[in-house]
């Protein structure tokens, strides 16, 4: 592999000149630039990134730490990160699925000297604390952090408002016997969604029966299992808000097995707006969460910090969520929010390439 020295020798100039051709071109005479460029191209030369970052102390790369890469959510987060990073001329070093805090710390540590900043989503509070510790090494932006953020930037989803809207919507439809399946204890999303949902009742001065908060764990099967508890409750609730779509899907499945109709016998709603939500029968009323935006904003906030742009500040941004009313809640409201569902920049390419089923508009899934 040709080095700067080879090119300099071959072109009959000093290495400093070759370097300048790639960095401060204006300081080199036009003919020299052209000549060096030509020689470099012929020798297939390109500056070595590692050497470059050693002296400049900048890598032009961002680290990305996610609990997982699989699935609609993370896949979108990382796409948002990737696109924003490219726009800003940054490379992306990813790492995911760390079994424990130790593994996670090791991963970040090994990124040292290779990244100018870090976007991280912690799988738990312990890991979050560890990640915060890296602020001394490079700027950090946390995705969906717990409460206290400290020296880091942070982007979180407006789980609270989304759930609040959902509560208002169900109350607005006249429901009073309303249950909710909450997510796991200690999970930030789960707590906020519950808090927002209950706030709607407070706001409307409608009492909420606490025995109608059922514990779920965000899996489809937990939603399935909740059906039994729900159905034996007296008086039987008329609506259920599941804290995510998976649980709503499990619940609906169980209700159907029990011979109940959704939404006529029981209205069901979810949270996340995963792809299937739109294609189910009945289509699921839920809250749309914009994962792409989460990644995009994180990079937007991180880059100035990474560049050391003066005046760059850590802030805590909130990504809005929005109610998507479909049929499963029994509302006959116009589905205006649907338009927003089209993925920004979603591409369809070869074969199994994309799971992005274009919004079918008024058509529904065959049933």
Partner DNA sequence: TTGTAAGCGTTATCAG
Partner DNA sequence: CTGATAACGCTTACAA
Residues forming contacts to DNA in the complex (CB under 7 A) are: 1, 3-5, 12-20, 22-24, 27-32, 45-48, 51-52, 54-57, 113
Return the SS3 of 57: coil
**Partner whose footprint covers residue 135, from DNA, a copy of itself, none (CB < 5 to 8 Å by kind):** none
Query: From the list a copy of itself, DNA, none, which binds 349 (C-beta under 5 to 8 Å, kind-based)?
Result: a copy of itself
With beta carbons less than 8 A apart as the criterion, state whether 15 and 28 touch. no
Contact 150, 141 (CB under 8 A): no
The distance of closest approach from Cβ of residue 124 to a copy of itself in the complex, given in angstroms and rounded to an integer, is 9
Residue 331 beta carbon to DNA: minimum distance, rounded to whole angstroms: 60
Q: How far is the CB of 72 from a copy of itself (least distance, A)?
A: 3
Could you say which residues in the range 236-275 bind a copy of itself, by CB under 8 A? Answer: 243-244, 246, 249-250, 252-253, 255-257, 262, 271-272, 274-275
Q: Quick one: which segment of 19-27, 102-110, 145-153, 167-175 binds a copy of itself (CB under 8 A)? A: 102-110
Query: Which CB atom, from 26 or from 313, has the smaller least distance to DNA?
Result: 26
Q: Between residues 44 and 352, which has the closer beta carbon with respect to DNA?
A: 44
45 alpha carbon, distance to own chain's centre: 38
Residue whose CB is less far from a copy of itself, 1 or 205: 1
Contact 330, 173 (CB under 8 A): yes
What end-to-end distance do the CA atoms of the chain give, in Å? 60
**Cβ of residue 205: shortest distance to a copy of itself, in angstroms?**
29
DSSP-assigned beta bridge partners for residue 269: 241, 285
The Cα 224–Cα 203 span in angstroms is 30
Structure-derived torsion over alpha carbons of residues 254, 259, 263, 268, reported in degrees to the nearest 10? -20
CA–CA distances in Å: residue 347 to residues 11, 87, 240, 292, 353: 44, 18, 35, 14, 9
Nearer to a copy of itself, 12 or 71 (CB): 71
- For residue 357, the 8-state DSSP code is P
Copy the structure tokens of residue 305: 């910090």
**Distance in Å, CB of 94 to a copy of itself, minimum:** 5
Contact 114, 62 (CB under 8 A): no
Please identify, using beta-carbon distances, which residue of 113 and 344 lies nearer to DNA. Answer: 113
| Entry field: residues in the chain | 367
Residue among 66, 64, 110, 96 nearest 83 (CA):
64
Q: Which residues between 128 and 157 bind a copy of itself (CB under 8 A)?
A: 136-137, 144, 157
Q: Which of DNA, a copy of itself, none does 27 bind, CB closer than 5 to 8 A by kind?
A: DNA
State the minimum distance, in angstroms, from the CB of residue 86 to a copy of itself: 7
Distance CA 181, CA 213 (A): 6
95 scored as a contact of a copy of itself (CB under 8 A): yes
Site for a copy of itself, residues 155 to 194, rule: CB under 8 A: 157, 159, 183-184, 187-190, 193
Residue 100 corresponds to which tokens in the numbers above?
């424990």
H/E stretch holding 306: helix 291-307
* Piece in contact with a copy of itself (CB under 8 A), picked from 89-97, 203-211, 227-235, 334-342: 89-97
Minimum CB separation from a copy of itself for residue 2, in Å? 10
């Amino acid at each position: 592999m040709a080095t700067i020295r080879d090119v300099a020798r071959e072109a009959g100039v000093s290495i400093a000149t070759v370097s300048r051709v790639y960095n401060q071109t204006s300081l080199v005479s036009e003919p020299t630039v052209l000549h060096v460029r030509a020689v470099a191209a012929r020798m297939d030369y390109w500056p070595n990134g590692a050497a470059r970052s050693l002296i400049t102390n900048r890598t032009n790369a961002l680290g990305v730490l996610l609990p997982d890469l699989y699935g609609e959510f993370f896949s979108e987060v990382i796409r948002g990160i990737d696109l924003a990073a490219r726009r800003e001329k940054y490379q992306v070093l990813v790492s995911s699925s760390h079994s424990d805090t130790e593994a996670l710390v090791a991963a970040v540590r090994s990124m040292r000297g290779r990244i100018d900043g870090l976007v991280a989503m912690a799988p738990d509070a312990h890991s979050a604390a560890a990640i915060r510790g890296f602020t001394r090494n490079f700027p950090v932006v946390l995705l969906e952090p717990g409460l206290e953020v400290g020296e880091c930037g942070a982007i979180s989803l407006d789980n609270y408002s989304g759930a609040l809207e959902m509560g208002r919507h169900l109350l607005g439809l006249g429901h009073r016997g309303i249950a909710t399946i909450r997510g796991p204890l200690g999970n930030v999303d789960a707590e906020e969604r519950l808090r927002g949902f209950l706030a709607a009742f407070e706001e409307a001065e409608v009492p909420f029966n606490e025995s109608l908060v059922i514990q779920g764990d965000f899996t489809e099967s937990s939603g399935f299992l909740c059906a039994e508890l729900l159905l034996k409750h007296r008086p039987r609730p008329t609506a259920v808000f599941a804290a995510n779509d998976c649980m709503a899907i499990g619940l609906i499945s169980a209700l159907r097995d029990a011979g109940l109709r959704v939404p006529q016998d029981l209205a069901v709603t979810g949270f996340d707006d995963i792809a299937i939500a739109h294609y189910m029968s009945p289509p699921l009323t839920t809250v749309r969460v914009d994962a792409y935006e989460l990644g995009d904003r994180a990079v937007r906030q991180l880059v100035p910090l990474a560049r050391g742009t003066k005046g760059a500040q850590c802030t805590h941004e909130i990504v809005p969520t929005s109610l998507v009313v479909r049929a499963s809640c029994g509302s006959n409201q116009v589905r205006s929010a649907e338009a927003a569902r089209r993925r920004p920049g979603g591409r369809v390419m070869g074969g199994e390439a994309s799971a992005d089923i274009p919004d079918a508009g008024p058509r529904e899934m065959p049933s």
